């Protein structure tokens, strides 16, 4: 597929394109349970920015290689930095993995293939959808190591699963299995026993990519406004004032309505939003 912008060449993850409109990012440090080091954070932040800027891409999917989605931070690197008076840990504006504090434009689905701990959980709390394998489990074990999940998850997870469940996860550090996580609303879906989580995540990504890219971007913005704590009426006003004119002047709304009248499948254009 020809891209408008140079293709990233990351060291710690792999990029593939299962369909013309979907980017699949696979964390590729399986021997280290896909923990993310300083360079890996910067790589992922740049990848998500590239996704947003690339006209033909509409959805991102993030997964891990081996038995882990992501075990969190690279604690060996962190320990070395902690023992040094000069070294400082740096985190991109998008947070852990470029995702835990990302605002962004296009949706990202996390496909949880195995253990998801610490920073791995921080990423999925701010992902748009989360699909898990039955054997996956989740946890914030930071308190057991004397550190804190400070990359964005703490004020966000309470909005997803409620105060008591959030407190249980972050104060005890206990692991939550996929089935329980789904009951809590921590994940959208757990695939059937024996099924592969990435193909299912790609199916959902294709459902999103089949829709108007403009409408997906603006609909996501509307949900984000509520997620970030704006009241319903203020969020509605901000969405209308900030996005309605741009949406209505775009090609895709005209194409979608025309295709409905003509009883055919829409032919979407790359979003200019």
Neighbours of 76 (CB within 10 A): 11
- Identify the three-state secondary structure at position 9: coil
CA atoms of 100 and 120, how far apart (whole Å): 9
User: What does R_g of the chain's alpha carbons equal in angstroms?
Assistant: 19
Residue ranges of alpha helices (H) inside 61-177 are: 75-82, 119-125, 153-161, 163-172
Catalytic-role residue among 43, 56, 142, 262: 142
Of the residues 43, 49, 54, 122, only one is catalytic, namely: 122
Does 142 qualify as catalytic in the annotation? yes
Check if 251 is active-site: no
C-beta separation of 235 from 226 below 8 A: yes
Name which of 157, 72, 163 is nearest 119 in CA terms.
72
Positions annotated as catalytic residues are 122, 142
């Amino acid at each position: 597929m020809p891209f408008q912008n140079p293709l990233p060449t990351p060291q710690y993850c792999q990029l593939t394109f299962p369909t013309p409109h979907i980017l699949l990012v696979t964390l590729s440090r399986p021997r280290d349970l896909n923990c993310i080091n300083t360079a890996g954070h910067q790589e992922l932040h740049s990848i998500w920015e590239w996704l947003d800027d690339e006209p033909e891409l509409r959805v991102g999917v993030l997964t891990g290689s081996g038995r882990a989605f992501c075990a969190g931070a690279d604690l060996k690197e962190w320990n070395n930095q902690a023992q040094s008076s000069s070294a400082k840990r740096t985190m991109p504006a998008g947070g852990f993995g470029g995702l835990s504090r990302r605002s962004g434009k296009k949706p990202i689905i996390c496909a949880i293939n195995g253990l998801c701990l610490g920073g791995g959980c921080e990423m999925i709390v701010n992902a748009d959808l989360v699909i898990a394998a039955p054997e996956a489990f989740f946890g914030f074990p930071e308190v057991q190591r004397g550190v804190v999940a400070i990359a964005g998850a703490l004020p966000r997870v309470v909005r997803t699963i409620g105060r008591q469940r959030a407190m249980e996860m972050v104060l005890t550090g206990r692991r939550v299995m996929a089935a329980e996580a789904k009951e809590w609303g921590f994940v959208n879906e757990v695939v059937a026993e024996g099924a592969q989580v990435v193909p299912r995540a790609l199916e959902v990504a294709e459902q999103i990519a089949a829709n108007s890219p403009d409408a997906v971007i603006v609909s996501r913005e509307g949900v984000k406004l509520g997620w970030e704590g704006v009241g319903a009426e203020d969020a509605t006003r901000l969405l209308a004032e900030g996005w309605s004119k741009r949406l209505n002047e775009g090609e895709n709304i005209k194409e979608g309505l025309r295709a409905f009248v003509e009883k055919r499948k829409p032919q979407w254009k790359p979003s200019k939003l």
